[in-house]
Structure 1
Amino acid sequence: MTDRIAIAGIGAVASMHAESVADIDGAELVAGSCRTEQRGREFADEYGCTWYADTGAMLDAEGVDVLSICTPSGAHLEPALAAAERGVDVLCEKPLEITTDRIDEMVAAADAAGIRLGGIFNQRYNPVVRQLRAAAAAGRFGGLSVANAYVPWWRDDDYYDGAWQGTQDLDGGGALMNQSIHGVDAIQWIASAAGAGGDADGNPVEEVFAYTDRRAHGDDIMEVEDSAVAVLRYRDGTLGQILGATSMYPGSLKRLQVAGRDGTAEIMEDELVTWQFREEREEDSEVRAEFGETESGGGAADPMSIDYANHRRNIEDFLDARRSGEPYMLDAGEARKAVEIIEAIYESAERGEPVRVDS
C-alpha cells in the first residue's frame, strides 16, 4: 500500500520533503500547492507531481493520505484545518505554528476529525543527538547540572529582503522562532530524558529570563530579533542557556552541551567534541570514533546547505507510525513544547523579568 502525499507550500523546505518522499518505500508525492504558477509548475516538473493553486482544491482532487505543510510558519493553521475537514493526516514543518493559541486550534481540529497531527524537528533524528539523549536517559551524567543550546548563525540582508522570514505575522519571531527552534527542541528533549522535566508529558523548562534585540540588521530589513540570549531553569533545578542568532558573521556551527556531576558531552554540528564520563565504558571509545568529526557546515551561513537525511528519517517515522497505529514521537503535544518555551522567552524579553513556562 502506497501513502499518497501532497505538499502545501512550495518553498525551499518543500524540496527537502519531496526528496525525502522519493527515498521512502511505499510513499508517493502526488501534488503540491502554491499561489505562484511558475514556481508551482517548475516544482511539479521536477518531482513528477501535479501543481495546484489552492490547497483545498488539491486535497479534493487527489484523495491524499498525508498533507505535508511547508508554508510560511504563520500560515500553517489554515492548511491544517483544510486537511482536518477532509480527514487527511497532517505532518507539519517546524514550528507547528507561531503561537500556542494557533497550535491549540490545530490540535482541536485534528482531534475532532480523528486525524494524526505531527511535527517536524529533524534534529531528533540526527544519530549523534540521539546518542547524547540515550546517555542522558541512562543517567550517565549523574543528574544534569546544565543543558545548553547555541545557534551562532549569520544571514545576509538579502535573505530577509522581500521574504516572509523576519516578519512578525508570518515568522512569528526571528532567530529563535525560525533558525534556533531546532536547538530549543533538541535540548529540552534531551533534558527531559534525564529527568529534568519531572512529568514526562509536560514541558521540562520551568522558567526563563531573556534578552532579544536586532543587532546586525536594520528595522527596514526585519521586524523581529536577530539576536537572543536566555537563561533557563528546568523543573528539577537544572540550569541552561540558549543563544539564538542570525547576526554573528560569518556564522559558526550549532552546539548542544549537557553536563552533570558524572560527565559532560558536547555536540558541534554533527561532531561529538566532548564525551567524558566519570565511569568510562567499553563502548565510549567506539562512540568517539563514530561521531568524531563533521563534514557539514549545517546552516551556519547558508540555509540551503542543510542535508535532508534527517528530514527523511523524520518523515519516514511519521509514515511508519500511521501505518502501524503506534504513537508518533513528535505528536502535536510534543512538537508544541519548543514554541511554548520561545513564547516565554519573548515575553520575558518584553517584560524584563523572569517568566514561568505554563505546562
Structure 2
Amino acid sequence: MALRTAVVGGGTISGRHLDGLSDCPYTDLVGICDVDADRARSVASEYGIANYTDMQELLDDANLDWVHICTPVATHLDLATMAIEAGVPVLIQKPVTETVEEYERLKATAEKHDVPVSVVHNHDFDPAMRKLTAAIEDGAVGDVRSVEVRYAGQTYPDDVRRGEWAFQLPGGEFEEGIPHPLYLLLRVGGYPRDLDDVQVSTHLVREYDRPFTYDGTKVQYVSDSDVLCSTTLLPGDVPDKGVHVHGDDGVLIADLVSQTLVRLDRDYQASAINRALSNVKRAADRLLGNVDNLRAFVRDKRSDEWDVKTEMNSHYYQFEADALALEGRGERPVPLEEAGWTIRLMEAIREAAADQAAVTQDASVTR
C-alpha cells in the first residue's frame, strides 16, 4: 500500500518533492501545507491534492504515513517535532536543524517516540557517487587512506536563490549549500573520531552589504576508520566539484559535474608511455561515463517509468529508498547520525569564521 504523504513548504525546493512523490509508486501525495494560503492553494490545484496553512491541521486531518519538510531551516525543529509527536515519520531538507543543540533535541524526541527521521542528502545518490561507493565496497582501491572533496563554484553569500531567510545565515546563500560537500565527505570518509580534532580555516574575500563572516572554507579531520578527510569549499561561477579517494591499491575520482568515475590502478609515472596512458585512461573512463549518462538521459526522456527516473535523479532515488525503508524493506539511506555530523561541522565552520572576523576586527582597530 502506498504511503500517504504530504509536503510542508511550497518554496523553491518543494517542487522536486511534489513531482517525485506524485510519480513514486510507493507514495500517495495527498497534501501541501504552506503559511502562504495563495501558494498552498496554487500548489494543491496543480497536483490535485488538499491544501493547508496549519501544520497541526494537516496532521489531524490527512491520516499521514510520511511528511516531507521543505521549509527554512529555522523552522525544522518545531515542524519535525510536531510530526514526530503525532507519530508521523519525517524527511527533512538539509541541513537537519539550525544548530547542534537543536539536532540533539530532535534526535531525543525521535528516539522517545520511536519515529523514523531522516534528511535529504541527495548527492549521496548521484550516479557518480553510487558508482564510487560501490567500487570502494568492491575493494577497487584496497584500504582507503584519504578522501578529498573539492566543491568550487558555490553561490556567493549574497546571491538571491532561496529567499531572505538564507541571508540571516553567517555565510548567506553560500552557507545554505555547504551541507552537500560535508555529507559527501562524511559518507565516503567516515565520521570524525574526535570533534575537537577537526581543523577549520575560513576566509572572507569579497565585501558585502550584509555582515557575512565567510565565503570560503577548508575542513580537515581524521575519521573513526583512520581516513584522512578534507574538503575545500569556494564560491564561483564555474563549478568544479569532485571526490578523490586514495587507497593502497589505486585512486578513484568522481566528477560530480559530468557524473563520471575515473579509476587509476597503476604507476603512471614509470615511463613516458605510462604518463601518456594516464591521460588516455582518464579520457576513456570519462567518455564511457558520459555515454552511460547520455543513454540514461535518453531513456528518461522517452519513458515515464519510475525506475528510469530514479537512475539519474538523486532526489527520486532517495525518496524511493526512504519509502521502502518505511515499509520495512531496507535501511534508511541517510542515517540521522550523518545529518548530525553535518551540522556539527557546519557549526565548527561558523565558529572559525566568527573567530577570524574578530581577529580581523581587532587588527583594524589596532591600526
Distance 1:108 1:219 in 2: 39
Distance 1:321 1:332 in 2: 14
Rg larger in 1 or in 2? Answer: 2
| TM-superposed deviation, 1:116 | 1.0
Contact 1:150/1:243 (<8 A) preserved = yes
Residue aligning to 1:232 = 221
Contact 1:73/1:96 (<8 A) preserved = yes
Letter of the structure 1 residue corresponding to residue 166 of structure 2: Q
User: Within 5 Å, which residues of 2 pair with 1:314-325?
Assistant: 314-324=318-328
Distance 1:136 1:125 in 2: 15
Distance 1:61 1:273 in 2: 47
Query: Which of 177, 180, 193 is the equivalent residue of 1:179?
Result: 177
Residue aligning to 1:268 = 255
| TM-superposed deviation, 1:10 | 1.2
Query: Which of 179, 182, 201 is the equivalent residue of 1:211?
Result: 201
Query: Which of 331, 334, 356 is the equivalent residue of 1:330?
Result: 334
Distance 1:149 1:132 in 2: 13
Larger helix proportion of the pair? 2
Distance 2:26 2:323 in 1: 9
Residue aligning to 2:345 = 341
Contact 1:207/1:232 (<8 A) preserved = yes
Per the alignment, do residues 286 and 214 of structure 1 end up closer, same or farther by CA in structure 2, a change over 3 Å counting?
closer
The range that moved more, 114-123 or 143-152, is 143-152
Contact 2:222/2:229 (<8 A) preserved = yes
| TM-superposed deviation, 1:259 | 1.4
| TM-superposed deviation, 1:336 | 1.7
| TM-superposed deviation, 1:260 | 2.8
Distance 2:195 2:285 in 1: 29
Residue aligning to 1:357 = none
Distance 1:254 1:205 in 2: 25
| TM-superposed deviation, 1:81 | 0.9
Distance 1:308 1:190 in 2: 20
Residue aligning to 1:356 = none
Per the alignment, do residues 223 and 36 of structure 1 end up closer, same or farther by CA in structure 2, a change over 3 Å counting?
farther
Residue aligning to 2:307 = none
Query: How many equivalent residue pairs?
Result: 324
Distance 1:349 1:237 in 2: 27
The secondary structure found in structure 2 opposite 1:254 is strand
| TM-superposed deviation, 1:144 | 3.0
Distance 1:68 1:337 in 2: 21
State yes or no: 1:122 paired with 2:112: no
Distance 1:131 1:204 in 2: 29
Contact 2:95/2:119 (<8 A) preserved = yes
| TM-superposed deviation, 1:130 | 1.6
- The alignment yields a C-alpha RMSD, in angstroms, of 3.1
Contact 1:166/1:224 (<8 A) preserved = no
Q: What runs of 5+ residues in structure 2 fail to find an aligned partner?
A: 268-281, 295-310, 357-367
Per the alignment, do residues 101 and 60 of structure 1 end up closer, same or farther by CA in structure 2, a change over 3 Å counting?
same
| TM-superposed deviation, 1:140 | 2.9
Per the alignment, do residues 262 and 319 of structure 1 end up closer, same or farther by CA in structure 2, a change over 3 Å counting?
same
Distance 1:175 1:142 in 2: 38
User: Within 5 Å, which residues of 2 pair with 1:285-324?
Assistant: 290-292=288-290, 309-324=313-328
Contact 2:128/2:255 (<8 A) preserved = no
Distance 1:85 1:265 in 2: 44
Letter of the structure 2 residue corresponding to residue 191 of structure 1: G
Distance 2:40 2:160 in 1: 21
State yes or no: 1:33 paired with 2:33: yes
| TM-superposed deviation, 1:91 | 1.0
| TM-superposed deviation, 1:158 | 4.8
Q: What runs of 5+ residues in structure 1 fail to find an aligned partner?
A: 296-306, 353-359
